[in-house]
Amino acid sequence: MTHNPDPARTPGFRTRAVHAGHGLDPATGAHATPIYATSTFGYGSAERGARLFAGEEQGYFYSRLTNPTVRAFEEKVANLEGLPDAVAFASGMGAVSAVCLTLLNPGDEVIFIAPLYGGTTGFLTEVAAKFGVTVHEAADETAAEALCGPRTRLIWVETPTNPALNIVDLARVSRMARACGALSVADNTFSSPYLTRPAEHGVDLVMHSATKYLGGHGDAIGGVLAGPADLLAEVRGVGLRHVGASLGPTEAFLFLRGLKTLPLRMDAHCAGAAELTAALDGHPALHALHYPGLGRHPGHEVARRQMRAFGGLLSLDLGSQAAAFTFLNTLRLFTQAVSLGDVESLSCHPGSTTHHLLGDEALLRQGVTPGLVRLSVGIEDPADLIDDVLGALNHVGTPARTDRDLSRA
């Protein structure tokens, strides 16, 4: 039987993860995108140099602004997120700061649905607010809608949230942003484009700490923002030309390598987290267990609608900081370290690490309790991770439980 390939067929995610954004190197035929370790590029003539700097001609002239290795990474992320373009930064916080410094002016208002990554919250409330931007924290989508007004410029969300793993309804957020003339921004770090593509739900800008799942191997730090090309041209000009938060070509090469296996790794992360959650559900040492795949999770149905699977993270509340520290210090396979999305399993106490600058009142308001532990499930055999966690829980006393506690567990 003769098969006639369909030229209009869109390749699957795994195919695009391998092939999108690059091909054989035009100069050498190299199969892997080379690391273009150069600060500057010759442009041949004074006339061409003038055109490049004026934006009248596209090309490479200085790696702070663009570099072939970095550009391949940007194009791959844009393809996987289903958006026209992307711009890469030296870190996720580089992306956060570039968005805010580009799009916000004194008198503008920003709404964020808490909790966010502590660094993002800190930038909004301490840096953006210093320049005359009013920042509103909302507990959920309903509270955010009540805060929307004519001065609202950005609505910023994460889903799942860090570290409480709440689920935000992206379609609802995008609708409320459009209704008040604002732009919606989704931090998609915890999901990756394999699990969630916020643009499919109407979100305008999608950012990642590429350090996490996109890279996947704990060996590079970077950030990336995807969205409309015209908007990203502005963000590139501020974030790279003026602020200089530029991703290096070596890091871009490592992210390109990591993205090729993203779907395979995410399948393993998600399967491991689901198995570990099932083994922990109902354990007497737990004050609460947070995982979007649990049917009683308040965001479970929204997660089912906007995620391919429920992610590679879960959070445990052990009732007190002392119990959390005992548990963490007893784990063998979960390395105590901030970050997440590594092939190796990681664990941390958010209240004293990633979110410690928020203060006790904000921590409790955002669900970051003293006993909360975040587990990033790697790609190890789930049975070994289960054995490790259950063994560590043997060293933790059973917390006193209230009716409120039982309803959350």
pTM of this structure:
0.93
SS3 of residue 315 by DSSP: strand
pLDDT computed for residue 22 by the predictor: 82
* pLDDT band (50, 70, 90) for residue 401: very low
List the single range of 47-56, 134-143, 344-353, 399-408 with lowest mean pLDDT: 399-408
**Could you tell me which residues come within 8 angstroms of residue 13 by beta carbon, excluding any fewer than 6 positions away?**
80, 193, 194, 263
- For the stretch 92-126, pLDDT in tens is 999 999 999 999 999 999 999 999 988 899 999 99
State the average pLDDT over residues 380-395: 97
- For the stretch 369-378, pLDDT in tens is 999 999 999 9
pLDDT computed for residue 365 by the predictor: 81
Q: Tell me how far apart the alpha carbons of residues 22 and 72 are, in angstroms, rounded to a whole number.
A: 6
* pLDDT band (50, 70, 90) for residue 360: confident
* pLDDT band (50, 70, 90) for residue 342: very high
pLDDT computed for residue 284 by the predictor: 95
pLDDT computed for residue 408 by the predictor: 37
DSSP state of 31: S
pLDDT computed for residue 89 by the predictor: 98
Higher-scoring residue by pLDDT: 133, 399: 133
Task: Provide the annotated active-site residues.
Answer: 64, 117, 187, 212
* pLDDT band (50, 70, 90) for residue 405: very low
Our CA angle for 387, 391, 394, nearest 5°, is 150
State the average pLDDT over residues 73-82: 98
State the average pLDDT over residues 395-402: 62
pLDDT computed for residue 364 by the predictor: 78
Longest dimension (CA), the chain: 75
For residue 358, pLDDT over 80 is answered with no
pLDDT computed for residue 398 by the predictor: 63
Q: Tell me how far apart the alpha carbons of residues 236 and 246 are, in angstroms, rounded to a whole number.
A: 9
**CA nearest to 180, candidates 110, 261, 76, 99:** 110
First to last CA, the chain: 57
pLDDT computed for residue 400 by the predictor: 45
pLDDT computed for residue 1 by the predictor: 66
Q: Which residue has tokens 């996109």?
A: 214
State the average pLDDT over residues 386-395: 96
Average of per-residue pLDDT values in the chain:
93
For residue 406, pLDDT over 60 is answered with no
State the average pLDDT over residues 42-55: 93
